[in-house]
Amino acid sequence: MTRPPSRRAILLGATAAAGTAMLGGCDRLGEAEWFRRTLKTGEDANLFVQRLLLTDRTLAPEFTEADISPWFKPNGTEDPPDKSYKALARRKFETYRLEVDGLVEDPLKLSLADLRKMPSRTQVTRHDCVEGWSAIGKWTGVPLADLLSQTRLKSQARYVVFHCADTMDQGDDTGTDADDADAATSGGNANPAMTKQTGGGEDKRDSGGQQAADTEPATEPVRYYESIDLVDAFHPQTILAYELNGKALPVANGAPLRLRVERNLGYKQAKYVMRIEVVESFADIGEGKGGYWEDQGYAWYAGI
Amino acid sequence: MPRTYLTRTAPDTGEVEHRRWMFRHPVVIRVTHWFNALCLLVLLMSGLQIFNAHPALYWGKVSTFDTPLLAMSQTEDDPPKGVTTVLGRTFDTTGWLGSSTGSDGEAADRGFPAWLTLPSDQDLTGGRSWHFFFAWAFVLNGALYLLYGLLSGQLRFRVIPQRDQVRHFGASVWEHLTLRFPQGDEAKRYNVIQKLTYAVVLFVLLPVQVLAGLAMSPAMDAAFPFLLTLFDGRQSARTVHFVVAALLVLFVLVHVALVVLSGFWNNMRGMLTGWFVIERKVEPAPAADGTGRAS
């Protein structure tokens, strides 16, 4: 004898079906451009509110030497595969020159020795990876504000862009050693969370832009880059660090020079900084979102 | 508040039953309740997505990678196993935690399984977008609920036990544990345990959850360094955020179970339309006039 399904059975079935549909539906919703933009308003609100709460000089917490992590976990690129970088590293960065240019009156070209001669700041701060882990390190470096003041910014200057040595995505014409490229890739796999989102940027390049296709052929390698605005650039704790825990910055942590922009997550702390460019807008750089991870969908503002 | 009495005499026993309609949940309470439920679900699932980016928890300022409080990982075995380590003890959690199959049917190295995370595939930035948007929605919705609850007196009615309830606390616990739900006038107000539970959720768990979330933000730590003092460091805040999320899940499970057990359709009608039926205690019908006046 078959009995009609009970109210409870119908309800349970309906709930399960609705649950499954909802899960799939949320994924599809999350892929829709309008919905993704709507969700992003949450991150816009983060920037707006945190800028209200923080003054330009509110310091990130500083810690004592006793708090320093015994091992400062390197993340992302740990050994840039690029030949030009390797050549620099072999000669202990003696031939390294930091370029500061863009919307400045007096562009600069500085060796590591020049930077070490400048007034420095040492700070014991916490590094927070977007993945969730933290480490504390002691950083010594040149306040970015000092460098920028020396160059005298032009009035249109709004953002500071950090161009880095490490290639993230290989093009056809890479100038990298194949073996080391593998090493870099496996380093990336150690952090499965920050894998590249396929879709977003690539699609846009296909459909949207001749301009992108013209200026940047698909074969060109993509290097790490980041950008901050002038509030963060002139913050007293924003330094270009050449030392970690009292020793020369190791390659795994970004030698010869890495950005420390405290009050921000790890992906803002650009490693292997080669060139600092002052711009009015970063729309023409990379995919136009202001950084390598930003181009993969991460928020430009990384205060949370 | 409108009241309707329905009186009927049960044919067999001659006992009188009274059903009384009570308008229990004003519209603001109903809307904020369901919107809150949606927010909590999205926050939980996108939170697990974010957790999966580094499926380990620590105590203190920094991550002590060798001594996590909790860690999930996938082994190198073939087929791979999922293992979860809690306070130094390791459990095989293949298929659930550490290693589970995704939509492609392949075993993947992930903390929580795809069906519990939002988005379902590994996508930290997607999870963060969902989480922050719904965190704002949750906070604004919660503020509306609290403001309305305070001004209308609903909050006091819902969470503060009355004096007699405190006096009969022991009896209430026993009643609750044996799943005997109050009838009659007693059903018009929330049970003392119910009130205390709601109070703990509203004024302890949810605020702690928001503060622990904020303590994970490097910018918020600069603005409000006491957040770090409060939680003993950023990594502890992350652990507290995870544990409180688990407690909220426990609350919701018990809440839903009691909704089902104490009269599912009546409760659902109450939270959807506002109208709730109070079943009067069944009493013998008065012999003479039969008016059935309830005491």
Which residues does A242 contact at the CB level (< 8 Å), separation at least 6?
A: A112, A115, A116, A140, A141, A142, A248, A249, A256, A257
Q: What mean pLDDT is predicted for residues A14-22? A: 73
pLDDT at B5: 47
Q: Which pLDDT tens digit goes with each residue over A48-75?
A: 999 999 999 999 999 999 999 999 999 9
Q: For the beta carbon of residue B244, count every other beta carbon within 10 angstroms.
A: 20
**From A124-138, A199-213, B195-209, the region with the lowest mean pLDDT:** A199-213
Of B131, B221, B235, the CB nearest to A61: B221
Contact A276, A174 (CB under 8 A): no
- Residue A187, chain B, CB below 8 Å: the answer is no
Q: Which pLDDT tens digit goes with each residue over B42-99?
A: 999 999 999 999 999 999 999 999 999 999 999 999 889 999 999 999 999 999 999 9
The answer to whether the CB atoms of B222 and A71 lie below 8 A apart is no
Q: Which pLDDT tens digit goes with each residue over B103-133?
A: 788 899 999 999 999 999 999 999 999 999 9
| SS3 readout for A176-242 | ECHHHHHHHHHHHHCCHHHCCCCCHHHHHHHHHCHHHHHHCCCCCCEEEEEEEEHHHHCCCCCEEEE
pLDDT at B151 over 90: yes
pLDDT at A207: 37
Residue A161 pairs in a beta bridge with A227, A277
Looking at per-residue pLDDT, the higher value among B288 and B259 belongs to B259
Contact A197, A261 (CB under 8 A): no
Q: What mean pLDDT is predicted for residues B147-151? A: 97
Q: Which residue has the tokens 């959720």?
A: B201
A-chain CB neighbours of B238 within 8 Å are 132
Q: What mean pLDDT is predicted for residues A27-49? A: 92
Contact B117, B49 (CB under 8 A): yes
Which residues does A261 contact at the CB level (< 8 Å), separation at least 6?
A: A228, A232, A235, A237, A238, A268, A269
Q: A106: helix, coil or strand?
A: coil
Distance from CA of A37 to the nearest CA of B (A): 9
Q: Virtual CA dihedral for A221, A223, A229, A230, nearest 10 degrees?
A: -120
pLDDT at A16: 72
CA B170 remoteness from chain centre: 24
Q: For residues A272 and A80, give the distance between their C-alpha atoms in angstroms, rounded to a whole number.
A: 8
Max distance between CA atoms of chain B, in angstroms, equals 83
Of A27, A42, A131, the CB nearest to B132: A42
End-to-end CA distance of chain B: 20
- Residue B124, chain A, CB below 8 Å: the answer is yes
Distance from CA of B271 to the nearest CA of A (A): 17
Please give the domain boundaries of chain B with CATH numbers for all domains. Answer: 1-24+281-295 (no CATH), 26-61+114-280 (1.20.950.20), 62-111 (no CATH)
Q: Confidence class of residue A163 from pLDDT cuts 50, 70 and 90?
A: very high
User: How many CB contacts within 8 angstroms connect chain A with chain B?
Assistant: 144
- Residue A53, chain B, CB below 8 Å: the answer is yes
pLDDT at B284: 56
Q: For residues B110 and B115, give the distance between their C-alpha atoms in angstroms, rounded to a whole number.
A: 12
At A304, which amino acid appears? I
pLDDT at A208: 36
Question: Where does A60-295 sit in CATH, by number?
Answer: 3.90.420.10
| SS3 readout for chain B | CCEEEEEEECCCCCEEEEEEEEECCCHHHHHHHHHHHHHHHHHHHHHHHHHHCCCEECCCCCCCCCCCCEEEEECCCCCCCEEEEECCEEEECCCCCEEEECCCCCEEEECCCHHHCCCCCCCHHHHHHHHHHHHHHHHHHHHHHHHHHHHHCHHHHHHCCCHHHHHCHHHHHHHHHCCCCCCHHHHHCCCHHHHHHHHHHHHHHHHHHHHHHHHCCHHHHHHCCHHHHHHCCHHHHHHHHHHHHHHHHHHHHHHHHHHHHCCHHHHHHHHHHCEEEEECCCEECCCCCCCCCCC
Boundaries of every domain in chain A: 7-53, 60-295
Q: Virtual CA dihedral for B164, B166, B167, B168, nearest 10 degrees?
A: 90
Max distance between CA atoms of chain A, in angstroms, equals 92
- Residue A262, chain B, CB below 8 Å: the answer is yes
pLDDT at A184: 38
Q: Which pLDDT tens digit goes with each residue over A174-200?
A: 455 444 433 333 333 334 456 544 333
pLDDT at A2: 55
Q: Which pLDDT tens digit goes with each residue over B259-285?
A: 999 999 999 999 999 999 988 765 555
Q: What mean pLDDT is predicted for residues A159-164? A: 98
**φ and ψ of A104, to 5 deg:** -130, 150
Q: Which residue has the tokens 């001594």?
A: B67
Contacts 24+ apart (CB under 8 A), B179-187: B179/B261, B181/B261, B181/B262, B181/B263, B183/B278, B183/B279, B183/B280, B183/B281, B184/B278, B184/B279, B184/B280, B184/B281, B184/B294, B185/B278, B187/B278, B187/B279
Pairing of strands A273-279, A98-102: parallel
The answer to whether the CB atoms of B121 and A38 lie below 8 A apart is no
pLDDT at A198: 39
Contact B199, B159 (CB under 8 A): yes
Q: What mean pLDDT is predicted for residues A199-224? A: 50
Q: Which pLDDT tens digit goes with each residue over A73-105?
A: 999 999 999 999 999 999 999 999 999 999 999
Length of chain A: 304
pLDDT at A195: 52
pLDDT at A188: 37
Q: Which pLDDT tens digit goes with each residue over B6-54?
A: 555 545 555 556 788 999 999 999 999 999 999 999 999 999 999 999 9
Q: What mean pLDDT is predicted for residues A103-116? A: 97
Contact A230, A159 (CB under 8 A): yes
pLDDT at A199: 37
Entry pTM: 0.87
pLDDT at A204: 36
Q: Give the angle subtended at the CA of A243 by the CAs of A237 and A247, to the nearest 5°.
A: 145
Q: Which pLDDT tens digit goes with each residue over A216-247?
A: 445 678 999 999 999 999 999 999 999 999 99
pLDDT at A201: 36
Contact A108, A151 (CB under 8 A): yes
Read off the tokens for A213: 């296709």
pLDDT at A268: 98
Q: Which of A221, A226, A235 is nearest to A277 (CA)?
A: A226
Q: Which of B99, B101, B108 is nearest to B71 (CA)?
A: B99
Of B133, B135, B219, the CB nearest to A50: B219
Q: Which residue has the tokens 């006091």?
A: B156
Q: Which contiguous run of DSSP H or E holds residue A274?
A: strand A273-279
Q: Which pLDDT tens digit goes with each residue over B208-255?
A: 999 999 999 999 999 999 999 999 999 999 999 999 999 999 999 999
Nearest CA in chain A to B50: A131
**φ and ψ of B104, to 5 deg:** -85, 0
pLDDT at A1: 45
The answer to whether the CB atoms of A131 and B63 lie below 8 A apart is no
pLDDT above 70 coverage of chain A, percent: 81
pLDDT at A212 over 50: no
Contact B193, B173 (CB under 8 A): yes
ipTM: 0.87
Contact A129, A145 (CB under 8 A): no
- Residue A295, chain B, CB below 8 Å: the answer is no
